[in-house]
Amino acid sequence: MEEQLLSREDTRLVEGLRAGDEAAFKELMRLYGPAMLRVARMYVSSRAVAEDVVQDAWVGVLRGIGRFEGRSSLKTWLFRIVANTAKTRGMREARSIPFSALAGEDEAAVDPDRFLGADERFPGHWAVPPEGRVLAAEALDVIERAIERLPPAQRTVITLRDIQGLSAEEVRNALDLTETNQRVLLHRARSKVRSALEEYMR
């Protein structure tokens, strides 16, 4: 089944780009450029190289836009191109790290000490339950700092899902992740951000 997935918005931008409309290009660059740079940072060593990757990716986008068929959303396609460009470059740098190694295997969402131990009557239930809300307007920079401290793959996934608003499937397609890996990375990332907010509100 070949489904046309392009939203009206995507169609407008794709047509604008094909027509050489600079306003459409700027709009796309500002919408997705910052997150594309973050994706590039996941695979290459330096900020300067990541910027080169983003530039090469956009050249690829312009070359490919005429053949873009809309089998994925426009943003999935853009992030796929930057991820692939960055992977190629990362390999050349011999610094590429496989995604699985970035996943951060055995991290708990919540500090295990906050649950009752095996010798208690209700093992695994809250000993120190969370309380109240974790939010305040000024907490935004707490969130940003928490995201900056994340391992690169977690940082990229939470950026694409929760900041840029991609669906789970779009992120999996953009970064070539399994369903489980995508979810684990997102879960670890969100758990740490929640925990940073909780700490901050205390």
Q: Which residues bind other proteins (CB under 8 A)?
A: 20, 22, 25-26, 29-30, 33-35, 37-38, 51, 54-55, 58-59, 62-63, 108-110, 112, 115, 122-126, 129-135, 139-140, 143-144, 147, 158-159, 162-165, 168, 179, 183, 186-187, 190-191, 193-194, 197-198
Contact 182, 168 (CB under 8 A): yes
**Cβ-based nearer residue to other proteins, 6 or 54:** 54
**Cβ-based nearer residue to other proteins, 2 or 158:** 158
CB 194 to other proteins: min, Å: 4
**Cβ-based nearer residue to other proteins, 12 or 187:** 187
CB 2 to other proteins: min, Å: 25
Q: Tokens for 127?
A: 């000993």
**Cβ-based nearer residue to other proteins, 2 or 104:** 104
CB 25 to other proteins: min, Å: 5
Distance CA 91, CA 137 (A): 41
CB 176 to other proteins: min, Å: 18
